Structure 1
């Protein structure tokens, strides 16, 4: 069961949102990508994303994967480690990744790139609605959108898809929310995840400790933004409608969508994929 999409704004998207709160939300989501619960989890969100990449890209080593709205890095460093570890075992070359964003956090990206040589970044701002080809000559290009596509209104989303269809060879949209009753009912669980993140990764920050355990603003914001994400995440059919509106040449493209359970019934990876048939 679904209902009409609502383009609400999350607290983390507001210009008045404090930097520490925005960082807390970003870290919470990043750590969620690596969460594994013994005897329950089907891998992690990151491992399931890697499985989707390997399932739909015939030869991942021939691609450069561009995280087109990377923020502070998000799950891409985790995905890079997972997929290249598997490819190394198979005796194949690793996949190269590029981080881009309209407002690039260059210092954080430089730290990531220093530790993981297969990850590069664009220091200048990149508008996802108008992106030229970023992969080097001889490499195919796949653009990924890690739990960010629901942030864009329909006009921007059409432009972003048009750009991907015109200048890339594949795209993948990953979401961890859905516009349905079960997902909305599970969304309050991220409130408790906010406490866990502060306790294990941010315990040295008095501000974060106070606004988590004394006045629980950080967990509450995470819950509210998670619910808003549910209300504005697009269905596969709605993404197909945006693709049709893009006006791009769709000859040779094939589109699929699906879901992968990670911690049933609370965490599921939803995906929509477009790949050129000759890629």
Structure 2
């Protein structure tokens, strides 16, 4: 069926949350919903074994999450890594548009296992003081090819392992979900999202900017995603000397039957 086939082209359209002038309150509401949905559905649980192996191979037990947004899914991945034999692993959340209010909740709930960098962090030029195995969840598609390559090249330059994870497989049916199913889910679940914000209710039910912008950004996210072969091509250009081992592909979530697209790079050992 057509809806089950992959979307083979990539369109560099805009997303509202990328725009510098976009109202912070709307961006925060969209990020809160994304965090809530990813966490409840455990979208990124299938990549835990892959991430654990890469972290051990790189010898970098702590994670630096770039482009963290509201931290969607990070707590679940962190808890699973701890349960899998990495009891001391920690995560530092960072973003070009930091969300300390959402991150503080995660830090308190994890007893400091999740911490955050309050200053803006450019994922293409990470400060040397921020160390650890780099992860990017649900955000790599925001970067056009030149910037995406720059992000990977910065990891190679600083010898920091990196894992890119997108919570979709780039299929036509995912566009249908973004248009027909997820908006209904958003309307039903918004009252249960924490921390509670009156602004989130107002811009969901009275002036529905949050769901409308979420529909647009969700559609564009699928269209902007890089399939595995393009991820590998970016990695090879970012690492012309072959200093890293790279792998890319997709893994399926047995609970939701959805796919996660990934790229993992680990420094080669001399």
List alignment gaps of at least 5 residues for structure 2. 1-5
CA gap 1:213/1:112 in 2 versus in 1, 3 angstroms = closer
Q: Which has the higher contact order (CA 8 A, sep 6+)?
A: 2
Which of 53, 63, 78 is 2:76 aligned to? 78
Using the alignment, how far apart are the partners of 2:142 and 2:58 within structure 1?
A: 27
1:120 Cα deviation from its structure 2 partner? 3.2
List alignment gaps of at least 5 residues for structure 1. 37-43
Whether the aligned pair in 2 keeps the contact of 1:64 and 1:135 (CA below 8 Å) is no
Name the residue aligned to 2:118. Answer: 123
RMSD across aligned C-alpha pairs, in angstroms?
A: 2.9
CA gap 1:60/1:109 in 2 versus in 1, 3 angstroms = farther
Using the alignment, how far apart are the partners of 1:208 and 1:114 within structure 2?
A: 22
CA gap 1:278/1:8 in 2 versus in 1, 3 angstroms = same
Superposition pairs of residues 136-215 of structure 1, within 5 angstroms: 141-188=132-179, 189-201=181-193, 205-215=197-207
Name the residue aligned to 1:229. Answer: 221
After superposition, the C-alpha distances for 1:244-268 in whole angstroms (9 at most, x for unaligned) are 2225432352323222225444x33
Whether the aligned pair in 2 keeps the contact of 1:187 and 1:227 (CA below 8 Å) is yes
Q: SS in structure 2 opposite 1:194?
A: helix
Total equivalences in the alignment: 263
Using the alignment, how far apart are the partners of 1:203 and 1:56 within structure 2?
A: 33
CA gap 1:127/1:17 in 2 versus in 1, 3 angstroms = closer
Name the residue aligned to 1:97. Answer: 91
Q: Structure 1 length as normaliser, TM-score?
A: 0.80
CA gap 1:182/1:119 in 2 versus in 1, 3 angstroms = same
After superposition, the C-alpha distances for 1:29-58 in whole angstroms (9 at most, x for unaligned) are 11122224xxxxxxx224223233124444
After superposition, the C-alpha distances for 1:44-73 in whole angstroms (9 at most, x for unaligned) are 224223233124444698512110222333
1:269 Cα deviation from its structure 2 partner? 2.1
1:16 Cα deviation from its structure 2 partner? 4.1
1:254 aligns with 2:246: yes
After superposition, the C-alpha distances for 1:77-132 in whole angstroms (9 at most, x for unaligned) are 33222322343xxxx53212222223333454455434432233333332211225
Superposition pairs of residues 6-45 of structure 1, within 5 angstroms: 6-36=11-41, 44-45=42-43
